[in-house]
Amino acid sequence: MNKNYRWGILGAGRIAEKFGEALCFTEGSEVYAVASRDMDKAKAYAGKYKATKVYNNYSDLVKDEEIDIIYIATPHVFHYEQTMLCLKNNKPVLCEKPISLGSQQTIEMIDAATNNKLFLMEGMWTGCMPFIDKIVSLIKDDIIGTPQYLTADFGFTAPVDLNGRLYNKSLGGGSVLDVGIYPIFLATLIFGDPSDIKTVSKLTATGVDEYANIILQYPNGQTAHLLSSIGFNTSIEAEIIGTKGSIKIANPFFKASDFTLILNDGTKQHFSMPHGCNGFEHEIKEVMHCLDNRLLQSNKIPHRLTLSVSKIMDEILLQAGVVY
């Protein structure tokens, strides 16, 4: 780490709260400025996380020359417009997942960052966590053999609010974009791009997916079975099965600190990697590493991986009959 990074935060909601907590925990970063359309929320956020500046609109924050990096913590539907605004004003961006509502937007965002030689990363915090690094290392070292099958789910019972973020189509509602992205990310990280996608889903009265039951098949015959839901609870666990053994990731798999390695001969090994704060600190450290080294993208969440996940979600939502 070479400097202290001054972060600008777009949005002052629940995710921004957790991110602010992790920023205050992480050496070398500070909450410098926050913007919200609700000035009272912005001021409360600034007081809690010791922000120097408060804005009641996003444009003014983006133009603040003292800001080193902007974190976008607004609802999905605003990510494209706000990321492009940041890039236009020469600001590196960490954009909360999903980076956009569709792959065409994702392509344009990546192209804009690349053309302007600016850092851009999707805020897929899972990919920056120590347990993921360890699992990828075990697979590369052939400990479980060649991965053949992966299962992962993320479902919860959301209050039915037809105007709320999860049910409102105009806000990018539905299970796939909100929580389905986590199982899809894990499968794509392990297997790459699928050759075939099959989806069975149920739509809400507002036209977004209440659940999506997804099967991905890959060129070499591997399979992933994924499930997302905002209508019922699931185990929120994951398992990767290889030719020599398996890895079981405990609940909640998307921010896990524990997983178990089980070999075919019955040998078991438990791994525990507790977070120092709430898990967002790993993502923050990765961004600082990239900025320190003048990288335009992260090796842990590279643009190609973000785009692959975006394209897979496009097809799943198309099959489900959801068009934003």
Q: Compute the average pLDDT of residues 118-126.
A: 98
Cβ contacts of 48 within 8 Å, gap of 6 or more? 17, 20
Do 201 and 209 form a contact (C-beta atoms < 8 A)?
yes
Q: CATH assignment of 5-124+279-297, given 3.40.50.720, 3.40.50.880, 1.10.10.60, 3.40.50.300?
A: 3.40.50.720
Q: Compute the average pLDDT of residues 110-138.
A: 98
CATH code for the structural domain at 127-277+308-320: 3.30.360.10
**Is the pLDDT at 113 greater than 70, yes or no?**
yes
Q: For the chain, give every residue range classified as CATH 3.40.50.720.
A: 5-124+279-297
Q: Pick from 135, 152, 323, 158: which is nearest to 226 by CA?
A: 152
The residue written with tokens 């400097």 in the block is 3
- 36-47 pLDDT, tens digit each: 999 999 999 999
Distance CA 9, CA 68 (A): 11
3-state secondary structure of 302: coil
- 217-227 pLDDT, tens digit each: 999 999 999 99
Output the average pLDDT for the chain.
97
- In Å, the largest CA–CA distance within the chain is 61
Q: Compute the average pLDDT of residues 20-33.
A: 97
Separation of CA 82 from chain center = 17
- 93-112 pLDDT, tens digit each: 999 999 999 999 999 999 99
- 166-193 pLDDT, tens digit each: 999 999 999 999 999 999 999 999 999 9
Distance CA 59, CA 63 (A): 6
Which pLDDT value is given to residue 2? 61
The sign one gets for the Cα dihedral 261, 266, 267, 268 is positive
Q: Compute the average pLDDT of residues 20-29.
A: 97
Work out the pLDDT band at 3, boundaries 50, 70, 90: confident
Which pLDDT value is given to residue 288? 97
Q: For the chain, give every residue range classified as CATH 3.30.360.10.
A: 127-277+308-320
Which pLDDT value is given to residue 124? 98
